[in-house]
Amino acid sequence: MSDIINNNFIHNIIKKDLLKNPKKKINTRFPPEPNGYLHLGHAKAIFLNFNLAKKYNGTCNLRFDDTNPKTENLKYIKSIKKDIRWLGYLWNNHSNYTSQYFKKIYQYAKKLIKKNLAYVDQLNQIEIKKFRGTLKEKGINSPFRNQTIKKNLSLFKKMKNGFFKEGEMCLRAKINMKSNFLLLRDPVLYRIIYKNHYHTKKKWCIYPTYDFAHCISDALENITYSLCTLEFLENKKLYKWILKNLNFKKNPPIQYEYSRLNLEYSILSKRKIKILIKKKIIKKWNDPRLLTLSGLRKKGYTPNSINNFCEKIGFTKQNSIIQLKLLESCIRKDLNLTVHRKMAILNPVMLIITNYPKNLKEILKVKNHPTNKNMGFREILFSKKIYIEEEDVKKKILNSKKKISDIKIKLRYAYVIKIYKIIKDKNHNILHILGKYKQNTIGKKLNNSLKNKIIHWVSKKNSIPAIFKFYNKLFLKKNPEKEKNILNIINPNSYYINKGFVENSILTYKINTALQFERLGYFLYINYNIKKNFLIFNKIVSLKQKKYSNKF
C-alpha cells in the first residue's frame, strides 16, 4: 500500500491509539444495506475498511444491514458479495447480518425501557414529525413520554406480537426533546413493519432502525473503528448514547466519518438509480453508463483500476466532486500495460489500391504491444482493398490544401499510398477512394511531411465486421445530485453504436478481453455473433483525456 492509505487521518487516529495501547485490535466492517447494487462510492468504503484491517493485521467483517424488509432482497446480497470478491477482498469468516442479532437487539430495547430511557409512543408519524420541532424551534414532549415502565414493556411486547397496525406505535429513546440536535429529540428505535423478511421470514413484525441496530451490531462484533460517511456526523451522538446506556463500556466501537464520494456528471445514490430504471432511462443496474461496480465491470473497468482510483482520491473530511478524468486515467494506465494492440475501423471508407496485384498474398508481421515483447506478434494479410477511417479521410485527405494527386498517406505498419481519385455518388457521399502504393516503403524512415499522415486501417481480406458500443456520461450537468429532477438533465446521446471492421486476429481472443484499437481507444470484446459473423465491443476509455463540456 502506498503513502496515501497510510497517511489519511483515520490512519493517524489508529497510530495514536496503538501508541497508547499496542495490543488494540483493528476491527472494521463494511455494512451495505441489501437494497441495491454496489457502486463506486461503496468501493471507496470497501477499500478503506478492508485495507486498514489488512495493514494492521485486524479483521474486516461484511455485515448486511438488513433492518428494512420493504426494500431488501436476496438478489442484492448475491450481487454485493460478487462485487466485493471481484474487487479482490475477502471478509472475515462468513458474512454477518444485522437480522441475526434481532433477538439480542430486542432484549437491548427492553433494557432501555427498564432503565426508563425508552418509551412506546402512540403518536402517529405526522404527529411525531410535528412534535419534533425544527432547527429553530425546540421539540415538544409526546403525551406518552411519561408512561410507566410497566406500560411501556407491555405495549412493546404487544407491538412485537402484532397487536398494532403499521405506524400506530413505535419505540422511542427518551433523550431530550429540547436538544439542539434534531436526532437526539427522542429518536425512533423500533417501528412496526408487516413484511416477510428474507431471513427471519414472518418471525418479526417490529424492526430496529439503522441508528439503534448499527451501533449494537458493531459492539457485538467487537468492531473497533466504525467508519462511515459525513452525513452521519450527528448520528454519532446517538451512537455513543445508545452504547453508553446499554453498558458497552469496555472498548466500545467508535464512529469516525469521512467524505462521501461524488463524481461529476454521475449519480451514485441507489434511490436515484432506481428512478432511472423505473423510468426506463436504463434497463438494469449494470448499465455501463452507471458507476455501479457491475456497470463498470461490464464496460471493461478492472478491479485494479478501481482500487487505484480509491487510493488516489484519498480519505478526508472535505466534501468534493471528483473529476471523471481521474477515474479514466486509472483504467487507461492499467490497460496500457496489459492489453494487446489491434487495428479497427469505426466508420469505414474503402480505399482501393489499384496498382496492388490482386492475388498477391503479402503477410505483415505486427507487434501486439509497442514495448512489451512478451506479447508477441500477429500476422496481417494485406490486400488491394482496405478500410480506412472516415474521419481520417476528412482530416487528412479532403482537408488537405494540396492537389489530390499530391496527397500521400502512410498506412501504419504498411505502405505509403498516393491518393489520386475520390469516387462520390450523385449526393456527394464518398463511395470509395483510389490510390497507388509505393513499393519498398514498409519500415522505411518517413520524411516529415508524412509523419502526421500515419493512419490505421484494416484490409478487407483480413477483417471481420464489428459493432462498437459507446457509452457517454448519462447527465448533462456536472452535479446531478444537486438537481431537483434528474430526469430533466438526461443526456440524449449517452449511448450509440457504430458499425465497422476489426482485424480478424481478434477471433483467437476470449470474450471479455480488453484490447487497444490503435489511435481509437480501449475496447472490451464482449461477444461474437457466430451466425451473422460479427463481433461486438464496448468502448472502455479513449486514449487521451477528453475535455468535458456541457456542449454536445
Amino acid letter, residue 398 = L
Q: Residue 502 is placed in which grid cell?
A: 476489426
Stretch that binds ligand ATP, among 188-196, 263-271, 282-290, 333-341 (CB under 6 A): 263-271
User: Least separation, in Å, of the C-beta of 173 and ligand ATP?
Assistant: 21
> Of all residues in this chain, which one has the CB nearest to ligand ATP in the complex?
41
User: Of these residues, 185, 270, 298, 408, which one is catalytic?
Assistant: 270
**Short-list 416, 504, 410, 418, CA closest to 460:** 504
Q: Residue 459 is placed in which grid cell?
A: 484490409
**Residue 79 to residue 43: CA distance in whole angstroms:** 14
The reply on whether position 45 binds ligand ATP by CB under 6 A is yes
Rounded to a whole number of angstroms, the distance between the first and last alpha carbons of the chain is 40
The reply on whether position 268 binds ligand ATP by CB under 6 A is yes
For 61-105, give the DSSP string: EEEE----TTT--HHHHHHHHHHHHHHT---SSS-EEGGGGHHHH
User: Of these residues, 44, 185, 260, 299, which one is catalytic?
Assistant: 260
Given Mg ion, ligand ATP, none, residue 42, with its beta carbon under 5 to 8 Å by kind, binds ligand ATP
Sole binder of ligand ATP in the list 260, 297, 299, 342 (CB under 6 A): 260
Q: Which is nearer to ligand ATP, 9 or 377 (CB)?
A: 9
**Short-list 506, 496, 500, CA closest to 527:** 506
Please report which helix (H) or strand (E) contains residue 468, including its range.
Answer: strand 463-471
Tell me which residues touch Mg ion (CB under 5 A): 33
The reply on whether position 313 binds ligand ATP by CB under 6 A is no
User: Least separation, in Å, of the C-beta of 57 and ligand ATP?
Assistant: 22
Q: Which is nearer to Mg ion, 33 or 483 (CB)?
A: 33
- 172-206 in b/e form (b: 16+ CB < 10 A) is bbbbebeeeeebbbbbbbbbbbeeebbbbeeebbb
User: Least separation, in Å, of the C-beta of 268 and Mg ion?
Assistant: 12
User: Least separation, in Å, of the C-beta of 33 and ligand ATP?
Assistant: 4
The reply on whether position 261 binds ligand ATP by CB under 6 A is yes
Cell 461484511 sits on residue: 62
User: Least separation, in Å, of the C-beta of 33 and Mg ion?
Assistant: 5
Contact status, residue 51 vs residue 83, Cβ threshold 8 Å: no
The reply on whether position 289 binds ligand ATP by CB under 6 A is no
The reply on whether position 42 binds ligand ATP by CB under 6 A is yes
Cell 414532549 sits on residue: 141
The alpha-helical segments, DSSP class H, found in 357-477 are 390-392, 448-451
Given Mg ion, ligand ATP, none, residue 139, with its beta carbon under 5 to 8 Å by kind, binds none
For 283-304, give the DSSP string: SSTT-TTS-BHHHHHHHT--HH
Is 510 a known active-site residue?
no
Is 297 a known active-site residue?
no
Stretch that binds ligand ATP, among 158-166, 264-272, 341-349, 485-493 (CB under 6 A): 264-272
Sole binder of ligand ATP in the list 141, 200, 229, 513 (CB under 6 A): 229
On the 0-12 / 13-18 / 19+ scale of CB atoms within 10 A, 8 is middle
Which residues 6+ apart lie within 8 Å of 149 measured at CB? 113, 114, 116
The reply on whether position 8 binds ligand ATP by CB under 6 A is no
Contact status, residue 167 vs residue 192, Cβ threshold 8 Å: yes
Please state whether beta strands 513-517 and 521-529 pair in parallel, antiparallel, or not at all (unpaired). antiparallel
Q: Which is nearer to ligand ATP, 257 or 391 (CB)?
A: 257
Q: Which is nearer to Mg ion, 33 or 390 (CB)?
A: 33
The reply on whether position 223 binds ligand ATP by CB under 6 A is no
Is 33 a known active-site residue?
yes
Cell 496527397 sits on residue: 407
Stretch that binds ligand ATP, among 42-50, 99-107, 295-303, 310-318 (CB under 6 A): 42-50
Residues at the interface with ligand ATP (CB under 6 A): 31-33, 41-42, 44-45, 228-229, 260-261, 268-271
Active site residues: 33, 260, 270
